Amino acid sequence: MTDPIRTLVIDDDFRVAGLHRDAVALHAAYDALPPVRSIAEARAAIASSRPELLLVDVHLPDGDGIELVRAADADAVVISAADDAATVRRALRAGALTYLIKPFDRRALDAVLDGYVRARNLLAGARPLSQQDVDRAIAIRHGAAAQTSLSRSATEQLVLEALGDEEASAAEVGERVGISRATAQRHLAALAARSIVEVRLRYGATGRPEHRYAVRR
């Protein structure tokens, strides 16, 4: 199992910061650090906790969140009520992976977090990468839609990618994707009902069979 992705929320509204932190905490692949409310607090938290992902507001009491993104040695998503094109362009030039305009549906943040895990998995390890690997990781990190069947949800596609060419249990798939075992089980059952994956039984020492899943070829 890979280490959870340390994620820091930076927002001066403690209610909003708490909501974003809670959204991160619901993803098994993430470690939600305590939120901070200023540039100074963010710099201290970055130095001590070394987060890998920042969720940053633009307008903070003691400075500009975009400049923090530019200076930080971490990936970042800018989240702000500022909806003018100049601010969005400036955030992207500073290195933000994407920009979410407040208010937004929680599912939008969930999609960003899911995509970040997928891109991170594509670029993990020391193996040589194909151009296709690089192109897919860049597209996912910047929020481009995956080329998937219209009948599959985004989470189902993550589940299929987690299976790959192997068989796995619902718990193993959930760990790879960053979702709960129950959620993985639900999506695997739906995929099996449509004959996209097949279910295999493996009998252990206790005699109780374990359900294993594999993509149907």
One domain, residues 66 and 110? yes
Distance of alpha carbon 123 from alpha carbon 167, whole angstroms = 22
pTM of the shown model: 0.65
Residue 162 contacts residue 176 (beta carbons within 8 Å): yes
**Number of folded domains that form the chain:** 2
Whether the CB-CB separation of 69 and 24 falls below 8 Å is answered with no
User: Based on the domain organization, do 156 and 109 belong to the same domain?
Assistant: no
User: Is residue 123 in some structural domain?
Assistant: no
Print the domain residue range for 179: 148-217
**Distances in whole angstroms, Cα of residue 81 to Cα of each of 21, 76, 135, 137:** 18, 16, 30, 28
Q: Which of helix, strand or coil describes residue 20?
A: helix
Same-domain pairing of 96 and 166 = no
Between residues 141 and 48, the one the model is more confident about:
48
Q: What radius of gyration do the chain's Cα atoms show? A: 19
Regarding whether 98 and 19 lie in a shared domain, the answer is yes
The last residue of one of the domains, among 95, 116, 137, is 116
Label residue 148 by pLDDT band (50, 70, 90).
very low
Amino acid at 164: G
pLDDT at 210: 84
| Distance from the Cα of residue 28 to its chain's centroid | 10
Q: What are phi and psi of 72, to 5 degrees?
A: -80, 145
Question: Do residue 74 and residue 155 come from a single domain?
Answer: no
Q: What is the pLDDT of residue 71?
A: 95
Model confidence pLDDT, tens digit, residues 80-132: 999 899 999 999 999 999 999 888 878 888 888 888 888 888 887 788 888 88
- Report the CATH number at residue 184: 1.10.10.10
Both tokens of residue 83? Answer: 């909806």
Q: Are residues 29 and 76 in the same domain?
A: yes
Asked if residue 63 and residue 160 are part of one domain, the reply reads no
CATH classification at residue 94: 3.40.50.2300
Mean pLDDT of the chain: 86
What φ, ψ does residue 101 adopt, rounded to 5°? -95, 125
- 133: tokens are 């690997």
Q: Does residue 145 carry a pLDDT above 70?
A: no
135 vs 15, which has greater pLDDT? 15
